[in-house]
Structures are given as C-alpha cells and as structure tokens.
Structure 1
Amino acid sequence: MAILPIYTAPDPLLKTISTPVTEVTDETRLLIDNMFETMYDAPGIGLAAIQVGIQKRLLVVDVIGRQQDEPAQPIAMINPEITWVSDHDATYEEGCLSLPEHYADVVRPAEIEVKYLDPDGNPQKMKAEGLLATCIQHEMDHLDGILFVDHISALKRNMILRKLLKLKKMAS
C-alpha cells in the first residue's frame, strides 16, 4: 500500500466532475486500500478519489477509526448515489483534507440513504445519520466538483481560498 498525495484547493482538478467506475478490478481495490492508508495517515475521516488525482466516483469513509478508542469501521463506496434525504437538517463544523486547517459550519440533511457498489462489486444500500451522513455527503460533493466552502458565504469562502493560494505560493 502507498500514501498518495492529496490535492489542495484551489487546484482546478478539485472542481471537476468524476466519472463512474465501469468495472471493479484489482486496481480499483488497490486504489481503495491506498486511499484508506492516505486518509488515516492525514488524519481524516473521509477521502474522495478526486482528492488524490483520480477522477473516478469512488470514496472512503471511517468516522470511528482513529477518532476514538474503537475499532475502525472503514466503508468504501463505488459509484455512490443518494436515494433519499430526510426533511430535517443538521449542522456540523466541516473540514477537508483538500482545505487543510480550515473549518466552517455546513448545513446538510441529517439522514440519508445511499446505494453504491462495495469493493467486490456487489450492490449495497445504507442508511446513515449524524456525522456519517455528513461525511458521506461531503465526500460525494467532491465527486461533483463541490467543496464544503461552496456551501458557505462567498466572503468566508474567498477568505479561505485566498489563504490557501498564499500558502501554495509561499511553498513553491
């Protein structure tokens, strides 16, 4: 397994729409393994393939492992689709491995149902609530070129993006 480089905003790749995975292969499973290793190393609770430069509809999440003294609960989702959202919303302070050290409150549906393929290519369906629902929606946004800052005011978003651009220029 390998730790992959994580793309950070304002890299234009993060604003692209990912394409569906047409076939689940050993290469797909290796990418999933590498994404989990990268996410845990960062450390984070979710990672979309586009964040590591792969324009495929694939994401990994684990809101338990590394956050608490509980065993990891890794979930890999290939071609995820939200099939239902609750009428009530929840607000979480979100961060992102592609926007390091920046956080903002984001309002999203509190519960969702999502269908996806697992790493063996089998169809799955899951109901999620709380932090897991937020994390899945956040990572699915990445697949459509949406960052969590796209859900906040333009003023806050522009401040965050300007800071990240300044850091990139200083690093190069």
Structure 2
Amino acid sequence: MILMGDIIREGHLTLRTRAEEVTFPLTEEERNLAHDMLEYLINSQNPEMAEKYGLRGGIGLAANQVNSLKRMFALHLADEKGEQLSFVAINPKIVSHSVEQTYMTSGEGCLSVDRHVPGYVPRYARITVKFMTVDGEEKKLRLSGLPAIAFQHELDHLNGVMFYDRINEKDPFGEIPNATPYERN
C-alpha cells in the first residue's frame, strides 16, 4: 500500500526524469505498482481511509511520483456526466487534441508539491488518448474537462515536467488565448 511517505516531493531528481516505455507482459513488480497507484487514489478519496492513513486526496498518480521510471499512471475521478473513470494508463499518448485550450480557475495541485502554486496551467480542452491496460489491451478514449486536464498533468510527470513549469511566470493569471476556464465543482 502506497502512503504519503512513499510519494517523492519536488526537488527529487526522479520527478525531472523522463520515464521509460514499459514492455509486455508486465512483470509482477509492474503489475503491483499499477495496482498500488490506483489503490492509493481510491483510498485517498475515501474519508475514513484518508484519515486513518494520513492520505492527501488525489485524482492522479504517476510512477515517477513513487520513484519509479515506468511510463504508467493511474487516474480515479468522475467525468462531466458523473461517470467514474478509474484506470491505469501504460505507455500513454495523446493522439489528437483540440485547438481550444482550458485551465482550472483554481489552479492545479500535485501530491508531490506541498505548497500552493498560484496561476493558470494551460491544457488542451479535449484530447484523444491511447494507452495500454495492465493486461496489454490497447484503449482509446476521448477526454474533456477534468479528465483531460488530469491526463495531461500525469503525462507531463512521465516526461519530467511539473505543472508549474507551464504557468506564465510574468503573469500567472494572465489571459490564455483561445481558452475556456474550467471550474471544478
């Protein structure tokens, strides 16, 4: 079981290192990592489990964040229709994206960042993604809203990019051209 102490924090070299493609079939260690990352997110959103184990709530967790350079991350969140999205993406890619951008009006947070970083993080408003499941099945999804933002945030982790790298340093709350703000409920 992954706990907060297992999640590395900003400044750690692994967060700035590009993760490596995973080959199939997965090793037992890779399967366990995938399971544990998703389990952390599910537990972190359960008030009793979060309190019992001191977990910070999260909707996404990349392997880099638990000091593993494998191209995989977990997401656990609801989409615009309230449908639960819960999966581990292995070797994820964005295959197409909208011209339109979006950003969270409240800014983004990260389990590896223990401070509030003010500013808008520009993201594609809609993306089509491909990834492999733990069982080696290829999945293709179209995402928008929070799931699209979260997917891009986690994919950045796999490339050694932190969300605040995308904030305009000179004008953190400056207008983002061709963007529609996203308000989280």
**Coarse TM-score class (shorter-chain normalised):** 0.7 to 0.9
Higher helix share: 1
- Any idea what the Cα deviations from partners look like across 1:110-137, whole Å, max 9, x if unmatched? 0001111011111111110000000000
Distance in 1 (CA, whole Å) between partners of 2:9 and 2:73 is 17
Is this contact kept in 2: 1:96–1:102, CA < 8 A?
A: no
Distance in 1 (CA, whole Å) between partners of 2:83 and 2:96 is 29
Match of 1:39 in 2: 41
**Count of residue pairs brought into register by the alignment:** 152
Match of 1:74 in 2: 86
Is this contact kept in 2: 1:7–1:53, CA < 8 A?
A: yes
Match of 1:113 in 2: 128
Length-normalised TM-score, structure 2: 0.75
Distance in 1 (CA, whole Å) between partners of 2:83 and 2:29 is 26
Give the superposed CA RMSD. 2.1
Distance in 2 (CA, whole Å) between partners of 1:101 and 1:74 is 26
Q: Aligned in 2, Cα 1:26/1:156: closer, same or farther, shift over 3 Å?
A: farther
Match of 1:130 in 2: 145
Once structures 1 and 2 are overlaid, which stretch shifts more, 142-151 or 37-46?
37-46
1:7 equivalenced with 2:8 (yes/no) = yes
Is this contact kept in 2: 1:58–1:77, CA < 8 A?
A: yes
- Any idea what the Cα deviations from partners look like across 1:3-23, whole Å, max 9, x if unmatched? 150011011210000000012
Q: Aligned in 2, Cα 1:72/1:57: closer, same or farther, shift over 3 Å?
A: same
Q: Aligned in 2, Cα 1:48/1:156: closer, same or farther, shift over 3 Å?
A: farther
Structure 1: runs of 5+ lacking an equivalent: 158-172
Q: Aligned in 2, Cα 1:130/1:121: closer, same or farther, shift over 3 Å?
A: same
Q: Aligned in 2, Cα 1:89/1:156: closer, same or farther, shift over 3 Å?
A: closer
Match of 1:85 in 2: 97
Is this contact kept in 2: 1:29–1:119, CA < 8 A?
A: yes
The offset of 1:87, in angstroms, is 0.9
Length-normalised TM-score, structure 1: 0.81
1:15-30 to structure 2, matched below 5 A, reads 15-23=16-24, 24-30=26-32
The offset of 1:64, in angstroms, is 2.5
Q: Aligned in 2, Cα 1:113/1:34: closer, same or farther, shift over 3 Å?
A: same
The offset of 1:57, in angstroms, is 0.3
Structure 2: runs of 5+ lacking an equivalent: 45-55, 173-185
